[in-house]
Chain A
Amino acid sequence: MTLLRYMSRMTQYVFFMCFLFYGNSALKAGDSLTITKEFNLITSANASGYLKPLFTSVSESFNSNTFTVARFARQWRLGLDISVCGMFIPSSQLTFDAELPSDYGSTGVTQTSELRGNTETRNGKGTVSQPTIYGGISNPTFSASQTSVLPSDPPKQPATVTFLEGNNTSFMSGVPALQINAGFPTRTQLRLRFIPVPVDGKSMSYFGMMVSQQFNHLVGLFTDDSLIGIALNAGFHSLSRSQGISVSSFAVGVHGSKTWQSGLSLYGGLQYEDMSGTINFVREKNATSISKSPFEEIRKQADLNLKVETFTNFRLGAGVSYKTGIIELHADAALASQPVLAFGMTFWFMNLNVTKPNGEIDDSYDFNKDKQGVQK
C-alpha cells in the first residue's frame, strides 16, 4: 500500500505541477482557476509556448505503458498494472519564440535593447527566443518609451519586459500509471485509468482508456505460430474540470510481439498520438503592479487562456516483457520528440477460461495449451 499511496501522491503532484502552474499553492479558492501574481508576468500565447514541452511530456506519459505483448489468450482476465515513465528533453525544446509587446520594434514609440552574452540587439520585434519550462535563464528586453509625457503611475509604456525562466531540466518523470487491465475472449485487452484530484475546491478527473485488439489470426498472419501476435491499439485520455480545464489526448497504432517459452517476450510498435485542449485561468484582480506590464493582455487583466499543444505525433518503440506466475514485468523505450523510457509490472490476478456449451474449456485459440510462460 505504501507504493500505491506514494504513486498516488506523485500522480497528484505531477498533475498539479503540469497543469496548474506548480500546484495548489499558486491557486486561490473559487470556481474558476485563478492565477496568482508570481505568474502574472506571462501572456496566453507565451504561456502556451513556455509550457508546450511540458504538455508534450504529459501527453507522452498518458500514451506510454498502454500495451506490451500483442498475443492475447482467449480468456477473461483481470489485472492491475503499475507503470512509470520518463522523458529525455531534447535541446530543441529548451527554447521557444516568445511574443514581444506589440509596440516593440516601432522606434517612434519605443527603443529596445536586449543583451545576450556580449551581443546587444536593438529594436527586435515580433518574437524573441526565450526558455521553455525546461530551459535556462531568460533575457529581459529593456524598453525606453519615446514619449515625453510622464504618466501618473510610472514607468512609461511600453515598459521593460521580462520572461519566466526554465528549470534546466534534461529528464522529466512522467505521470505514473495505475491501471486496470482486462482481457476478453475476443483477444481484446482493455486498460482503464481513472484518478480524481481535488483542485481548487472542485474535482479534476483524469480518465484514460486504451484498447488493443489482436488481428493477425483474422487475416491469416502467423497462424502457424501461436507465439507471435499483431494487434491494433487505440487510446483516449481526458483531463477535465467543470471550470478551467478541458484536455484530451488520443493515440492509434499497431504493435506486435514474439514470445518464447521461458516467458520472455519482445514487442514493438508504431503509434500516432496527440493531445489538445484549453486551460483557462482568471488573473488576480487586485494586483496593482500588473499595470506596469508592457503587455496589454496583462494590463487589462484579461483571462489567461492556455492552448494545449504538443510536439509529439509519432513514436516508434520496442520493449521486453517477462511473465512469471501472476507477475508480468515490462520495460520499453521509444523514439518520439522526447525519447521515452518506461517500465512497470502487471499483476494478473484472475484468469477465467471460456467454456463451450457442453462444459468443456474452449481452448481452441489458447496458445498456452501448446506453449508455456506466455500471457496466461
Chain B
Amino acid sequence: MKKTTIISTIATIVTALVLPLFISGCYTNTVDTFGTFTVQIPLDFTSKWRNKSAPDTSLDFTDLNNYKEYRDNKDDIQRTIFYQFAYWIDSIRVPLTDPGVDKLEFDFVRYYLYFEGEPASSKHLLGEFKKVKVKDYFRIPHVIAIPDDVGKILETAAKTRTRFYTVAEYSAPTSGGSGYFPYIDSRFDLVVRLELKL
C-alpha cells in the first residue's frame, strides 16, 4: 500500500511538471514553425533595346513597390530572397542586309542587377546564357537559379532598398552581320521569395 502511494505521488508530480513542459515545448515549436510563411511572386520586366549595336547593354529600372503583392505585404516581409529568373526574346528585328533571325547567335547574354545608390560597377551577375541562338530563345523561357552568394548579397541589400536596375548585356553576334539591331524586346521574369511574418 505504501509502495503504491509513493508511485502515485511520483507519477502525479512528474505528470504535473512534465506534461505542461512537454505541451509547451511541442506547441512552441509548432507556433515557431508556422510563425513565418513564404510566398513567391514573379516580377516581370521587358528590356527594350533600341537602335544599338552589339556588344552593348540595356538598362531597366524597377521598384518593388510597384508590385502590389510586395507593397501589400511590405510591413510583414522579413526576407526578400532572389530565387530564379527566366529570359527569352519576345521580339527582335535585324537589318535586311544581315543574316536572318533564324541564324542569329550571340556568344552570351548576361543579366546583372544593382540597387539604386550603388555604382553601376558594383553590379551583381544574376546569370549568363551562353551560345544564345535566337531561334531557341524566341518566346521560349530559359531558367537560371540565382547563385547563393549573389542571392545573399541581394537579400541583404533588399532589407533597406527596393529600387534597383537590371542590366542586359549582349555580346557581339557570332553569326556575323553588322551587329546593329533596330530593336530587341526581351523578357526577364524574376521570381522572388518573400518570407512573411504572420
Contact = CB atoms under 8 A, between A and B. Distances in A.
A160 B30 contact: no
B39 A38 contact: yes
A26 B197 CA distance: 11
A357 interface: no
Contacts, number: 149
B73 A324 contact: no
B42 A159 contact: yes
A335 interface: no
For the residues of A in contact with B, the DSSP-based class is mixed
Given A173-B27, A176-B23, A262 B4 contact: yes
B41 interface: yes
A138 B30 contact: no
Interface stretch (A109-117, A242-250, A307-315): A109-117
A341 to B, nearest CB: 10
A163 B40 contact: yes
B196 A38 contact: yes
Nearest to A117: B145
Given A113-B142, A113-B143, A329 B191 contact: no
Interface stretch (B11-19, B51-59, B108-116): B11-19
B11 A115 contact: no
Contacts of B67: 289
A225 interface: no
A17 B191 contact: no
Contact of B140 (A13, A111, A329): A111
A143 interface: yes
Interface residues of B, number: 52
Interface in B15-48: 15, 19-20, 22-24, 26-27, 29-31, 33-34, 36-42, 44, 46
B27 to A, nearest CB: 5
Given A22-B198, A160-B191, A167 B44 contact: no
Interface string A302-325: 000000000000000000001011
- Output the residue of A25, A159, A167, A373 with the most chain B CB within 10 A: A167
Contacts of A138: 40
Kindly state the interface size class of chain A when it binds its partner. Answer: 35 or more
Interface stretch (B86-94, B148-156, B161-169, B174-182): B86-94
Nearest to A147: B139
Given A37-B73, A143-B141, A262-B4, A171 B29 contact: yes
Given A112-B141, A122-B140, A160-B189, A169 B33 contact: yes
B157 interface: no
Interface of B: 4, 7-8, 11-12, 15, 19-20, 22-24, 26-27, 29-31, 33-34, 36-42, 44, 46, 67-69, 72-73, 76, 83-84, 86, 88, 90-91, 139-145, 187, 189, 191, 193, 196, 198
Task: Sort A-B residue pairs by CB-CB distance and give the 4 closest, nearest first.
Answer: A142-B86, A289-B68, A162-B40, A324-B8
